[in-house]
Amino acid sequence: MSSSPPQSYHLPLDLVSALTLLAEHEGSAKIIAGGQSIMLLLRQGFLSPETFVDISCIPELSEIATIGGVVHVGAAATYSSLESSPEIQPYSVLTDSLHVIADPQIRNLGTVGGALGHADPSLDIVPPLLCLDANVVLKSLDKTRIVSLSNFHQEYMTADLSKDELIHSVTFNNLTGPHGGAYEKASNVEGGWPTVGVAAQVVLDDTLSIISDVKIALAAVGDTAIRSPCIEKSLIGSVISMDSISKSSELVSQDIDPLDDLSGSAEYKSHLAGVLSKRALIKAINRAGGSL
Amino acid sequence: MRINFELNGKSVSAEVSPHQPLRDILRSQFDLTGVKVGCHSGRCGVCSVLLDDRVVKSCLLMAPKANGRSIATIEGLSTNGELHYVQQAFKDNFALQCGYCTPGFIMATVDYLSSSPSNPPLRDEIKSAIKGNVCRCTGYEKIISAVSSAIISSEN
């Protein structure tokens, strides 16, 4: 590392200072939140930025609040702070995921904004946020941009983020009607990356017998985390039944493109995606008050 | 860059660069070798320390992040030569063999105990609390017993 250029590390205390630093160092600054994924990339020599802008000391970016029916989660809010936040408890699709992200140490540093910016398709937090139709709020010195999370991750580890922008927060609407969510994950070690992860969010009609809306999203089955339109289309408007849930869960293989790797073959992951989709749907429907 | 932080209750200062993990600063500049070196990738937990009372893996903690914060290591737990009650619980329950992972487990346990664990202790909850730490000797049973007895003794 002695041959590396000198590096500067900034710990701005407010948003404007952080954005000014990004504008000044356009292209050469790396935004740091928890810094854990970056630490691994630095150690492996994949990155050697000259300037680091650490946003973890900006109070505004760690806030979690519900305002006018919209939940706002600051980019630098840690997984641990979400786990203990009353604002997040109603969203079991999120709390399920938070409990299985790595381990307490990682969750104490890891942040939602860091995960979204890193754009790894295997992150556990992304499918639940896709199910909640989350938006990503991006800020630069001269503008604010709001991008739907489903468009934010463009390809493998690539996010729609300009060099002068930072992720300010992620937002999603309060849910109405009888609703329930769940996240199911298979991993080859406790606390490890998902071999496959599946989030499900359902809304039932007032009789609790018909699925009026359903969203399914998956991690680790392609270049980005993705929704499963095939499952969703086949279940929306249908009467709750184990048979229809089993059949529609098998359709997931049409929406995903997993790779063979050390965690399993593509064929195995496709099968696993169906099994986990079914489990997540059953749990979500039961939590919404439906019976199976 | 120079950072100032509180280390085991004392104000200290260190010269660090951004790519250095805090673990290396603690070991090389402060001789705190209870902060162990293991996997270098946040999996094994032997380098666990407390950052503002919450357990983190110091191999993944960029050293500048300690600026203005408080760091606690295993060396800061005992007072006047008396073991911290979590250390005592590990000793009483024979919850170590080679001992390499023990500081990390104890720091994770100290954080867990500060977050109102269930009492009577719940085995699954304890397992979740220590799942970021790997032990290759004990098979974990005696560690779970130690954490359990620390929870019970913390109430007294």
- Tell me which architecture the domain covering B2-76 has in CATH: Roll (3.10)
> Which chain A residues are within 8 Å of B68, Cβ to Cβ?
11, 57
pLDDT at res. B156: 63
Is A180-287 CATH 3.30.390.50?
yes
| pLDDT band (50, 70, 90) for residue B155 | confident
**HSE-CB for A248 with a 13 A CA cutoff:** 28
Check: CB of residue A30 under 8 Å from CB of residue A52.
yes
Cα-flanking dihedrals φ and ψ of residue A97, to 5°? -65, -45
For residue A53, which residues of chain B lie inside 8 Å, CB to CB? none
What ranges do the domains of chain A cover? 8-54, 60-173, 180-287
CB under 8 A, 24+ apart: contacts of A209-212: A209/A239, A209/A240, A209/A290, A210/A237, A210/A238, A210/A239, A210/A240, A211/A235, A211/A236, A211/A237, A211/A238, A211/A239, A211/A240, A211/A285, A211/A290, A212/A177, A212/A236, A212/A237
Question: What was the pLDDT predicted at A2?
Answer: 45
pLDDT digits (tens, 9 = 90+) for B15-51: 999 999 999 999 999 999 999 999 999 999 999 999 9
Taking all residues of chain B, what is their mean pLDDT, rounded to a whole number? 96
B129 touching chain A per CB within 8 A: yes
Give the tens place of pLDDT for each residue, A217-232. 999 999 999 999 999 9
Strand partners of residue A73: A64, A170
Instruction: Please check whether residue B131 touches A, CB under 8 A.
Output: yes
- Residue A254 corresponds to which tokens in the numbers above? 């049409």
| Tally of CB atoms within 10 A around B93 | 19
Count residue pairs from A and B with Cβ separation < 8 A: 88
Mean pLDDT, chain A, as a whole number? Answer: 96
Per CATH, is B85-155 categorized as 1.10.150.120?
yes
Task: Give the tokens for residue A41.
Answer: 């990339």
B5 touches chain A (CB under 8 A): no
Of B19, B21, B132, the CB nearest to A102: B132
| Among chain B residues, CA nearest to A107 | B56
Contact B56 A32 (CB under 8 A): no
Joined together, the tokens standing for residue A95 give 């709390």
Question: Chain A residues with CB inside 8 Å of B67's CB?
Answer: 11
Strand (E) or helix (H) holding A66: strand A64-67
Q: What is the CATH number of domain A8-54?
A: 3.30.43.10
Q: Is B42 on the interface with A (CB under 8 A)?
A: yes
Find, in chain B, the residue whose alpha carbon is nearest to that of A9.
Answer: B18
pLDDT at position A1 is 45
- Chain A residues near any Cβ of chain B (below 8 Å): 1, 4, 7-9, 11, 32, 35-36, 38-40, 42-43, 52, 54, 56-57, 80, 99, 102-106, 108-109, 190-191
Kindly report the pTM of this predicted structure.
0.96
Domain boundaries, chain B: 2-76, 85-155
The whole-angstrom separation of Cα B152 and Cα B20 is: 39
CATH of range A60-173; options 3.30.300.30, 3.90.1170.40, 1.10.287.3510, 3.30.465.10: 3.30.465.10
From B19, B61, B112, residue closest to A42, measured CB to CB: B19
Q: What is the pLDDT of residues B56-78, one digit of tens each?
A: 999 999 999 999 999 999 999 99
Note whether A9 contacts B108, CB cutoff 8 Å.
no
Q: Determine the Cα–Cα distance for residues A151 and A114; give it in Å rounded to an integer.
A: 17
pLDDT at A5: 59
Asked if A39's CB is within 8 angstroms of B108's CB, the reply is no
Which of A9, A36, A47, A105 to probe by mutation at the B interface, max B CB count within 10 Å?
Answer: A105
Tokens of A139: 């800020």
Average pLDDT over residues B125-144: 97
Mean pLDDT per 10-residue interval, chain A, length 292 residues: 69 97 91 96 91 97 97 98 97 98 98 97 98 98 97 96 96 96 95 96 97 98 97 98 97 97 96 98 98 88
CA dist., res. B18 & res. A8, Å (int): 7
Q: Is B45 on the interface with A (CB under 8 A)?
A: yes
Structural Rg of chain B based on CA atoms: 15
| CB within 8 Å of chain A, chain B residues 81-120 | 108, 111-112
Look at the block and give the residue holding tokens 């220590």: B130
